[in-house]
Structure 1
């Protein structure tokens, strides 16, 4: 399809993609999908349906300054005048622009995902984007009453439980009392990623708004989205423990090992173990591939925390954690009790071989076979015995075991959560 740059300044690059449909889609980029060559936000989906597209791509993190948009509007007016149906589309910074410039670009329908009202720190409490506010180009940048028209059709998609985005929605709402709203709970600021679908984008552009139809389509799309499950699991894990199992049972997930960040992955694996469902299949679905597997018989745990749990080394997450004895027994191939003697280095028995448990300053653990040299950045952990309790130390830091079974190292070695007990 034919593409050409039809306007450009220091802040935006505007590209016209000629199609064969009767509809013109004005697609706004965001912080991630900024100007790069001739690329346009949601380009593949828009090409699939042969739309004519004006792609307004930000070159900087400047929230489409009004001076640039006014200059652009004068330049592209001949193209705008060719179409009776103009639809604006964008997310976050792009959603803000789609709403703010709906009058300027004469858009009949505007589809905005998690839009901002402003990034001016004097106007909103949200500080996610405050560093990008520039008073010299952002005077009165909030969406103004004379920039929108209730006669136009506005569709906003956002997560009502995500406080930062909800603040912007509540400030936009009085300006557009008749707008259509689609709630997308437990997705945070990732609504556009969760609902990335050519068919759904086409529905938003072409179909008259019917709340029942769109909620059904949104449910269909989000259930196929890996992004959706990442946010749902993180939000529900501590309140609805069995939600993880239901998602794993009802979906054939095969996630990449980099899909979850280390913190979320550790919590998910820990929850599986607590539910005694740490099967190889479930771990693979989460992309949580074990680094080691214990094939020998289960070892008896003997280092207890103040919460009456036992300290183990998790061979999946490679972290020190604590669990009840029955959970350790049920997952002994992945949960390895510490082998300790008073005032010595911490060791592990893994498949009848002995390893030193070491750590570096970034909190990364390694198992080093006893007798082999240590890597230069790794130091062994030390098990210390005092008159009334024990502890595990790394340099000047002490292991702190929380009630949820997660642990970290702190400077205070007198904290109750640092006290361990040998059985």
Structure 2
């Protein structure tokens, strides 16, 4: 398809993509999809439906300064005059621009995902983007009442439980006389990524708003999204631990091992173990690989925390964690008690072999056979006994165990969470 640059300055690059439809889509980039060559935000989906597109792509994290947009307007006006149907589309910074410049660019419909009202720290409490605020180009940058009107239809998609985005929505809402809202709970600021779908984008552009239809389509798309369950699980786990089991029971999941980051993966594994549902099938559904398991009978745990749980090494997450004795017994193939003595190196027995538990400066543990040489980057953990309590250390750091059962090596070592008992 033909492309040409209509306008360019230090802040934006404006590209026209010629199509064959009767609709013109003005697609705004965001912090991630910034100007790169001749690329346009959501280009593949827009090409699929043969839309004519004006792609307004930010070069910098500068929130489409008004001075640039006013200069640009005269260059795109001849194209705008050719279309009766003009739809604005964008997320986050792009959603902000789609709303703010809707009247300037004569858009009839605006689809904005998680838009900002402003990034001015004097105007909003949200500080995620405050570092990008530049008083020299962002004077009165908030969306103004005279930049929108009732001739235009606004559709906003956001997560009502995500505090930062909700603040922006509540400030935008009174300004928009004709607005539809789609709530997308437990997706944080990733609504656009969760709903990435060519067909849904086409629906947003072409179909008159019908709340029943759109919520049905949104549910269909989000359940197929590789981002959706990541956000749902992260949001639900602390309050609704059974939600994980319901998702595993009702969904035919086969996630890639890189789907979850290390922190969330550790939370999920711990939750499965606490629910006594750490089956191979459940772990594989979540894309969690088994490095090794404990086959032999394991000794009883004997390192107790101030939370009255026991410290073990998790063979799935490869982390030191804390569990109640019955949880350790139910997951004995994965949770290995430590073999420690006062003032000695930390060891554990795995399938009849003795290992030193070591760690490096990046917090990565390794099990080293007891009589083998240590890798240069690994140092052993030391179990120390003091008057009335014990502790575990790595170099100058001390192990601290929190009430959720996670452990961290910290600089201070005399706090209650760092005190252990040898049973």
- TM-score w.r.t. length of structure 1: 0.97
Query: What residue is the counterpart of 2:168 in the other structure?
Result: 168
Quick one: distance in 2 between partners of 1:422 and 1:191?
Answer: 48
Query: What residue is the counterpart of 2:219 in the other structure?
Result: 219
Q: How many Å apart are 1:92 and its aligned residue?
A: 0.2
Query: What residue is the counterpart of 2:115 in the other structure?
Result: 115
Query: What residue is the counterpart of 2:320 in the other structure?
Result: 320
CA contact (8 A) 1:86 1:106 kept: yes
Q: Is residue 2:205 matched to residue 1:209?
A: no
CA RMSD in angstroms, aligned pairs only: 1.2
Moved more, 172-181 or 265-274: 172-181
CA contact (8 A) 1:298 1:329 kept: no
- TM-score w.r.t. length of structure 2: 0.97
Q: How many Å apart are 1:26 and its aligned residue?
A: 0.4
Quick one: distance in 2 between partners of 1:103 and 1:147?
Answer: 6
Q: How many Å apart are 1:173 and its aligned residue?
A: 0.9
Gaps in structure 1 of 5+ consecutive residues: none
Gaps in structure 2 of 5+ consecutive residues: none
Quick one: distance in 1 between partners of 2:171 and 2:313?
Answer: 49
CA-to-aligned-CA distance 1:330-383 (integer Å, 9 cap, x gap): 111111110112211000111111111111222221111112222222211111
Mapping of 1:125-144 within 5 angstroms?
Answer: 125-144=125-144
Query: What residue is the counterpart of 1:179 in the other structure?
Result: 179
Quick one: distance in 1 between partners of 2:65 and 2:172?
Answer: 19
CA contact (8 A) 1:340 1:346 kept: yes
Query: What residue is the counterpart of 1:346 in the other structure?
Result: 346
Query: What residue is the counterpart of 2:63 in the other structure?
Result: 63
Q: Secondary structure at the match of 1:15?
A: strand
Q: Secondary structure at the match of 1:384?
A: strand
Mapping of 1:261-410 within 5 angstroms?
Answer: 261-410=261-410
Quick one: distance in 2 between partners of 1:403 and 1:103?
Answer: 53
Q: How many Å apart are 1:222 and its aligned residue?
A: 0.9
Moved more, 193-202 or 258-267: 258-267
CA contact (8 A) 2:40 2:56 kept: yes
Q: Secondary structure at the match of 2:119?
A: coil
CA contact (8 A) 1:157 1:181 kept: yes
Quick one: distance in 2 between partners of 1:177 and 1:299?
Answer: 68
Q: Secondary structure at the match of 1:409?
A: strand
Quick one: distance in 2 between partners of 1:185 and 1:359?
Answer: 39
Which aligned segments of 4 or more residues in structure 1 are displaced greater than 4 angstroms?
Answer: none
Query: What residue is the counterpart of 1:416 in the other structure?
Result: 416
Q: Is residue 2:62 matched to residue 1:41?
A: no
Equivalent pairs, count: 423
Q: How many Å apart are 1:116 and its aligned residue?
A: 0.5
Q: How many Å apart are 1:99 and its aligned residue?
A: 0.3
CA contact (8 A) 2:298 2:337 kept: no
Query: What residue is the counterpart of 2:99 in the other structure?
Result: 99
CA-to-aligned-CA distance 1:172-221 (integer Å, 9 cap, x gap): 11111431111111111000001111111111101100111111111111
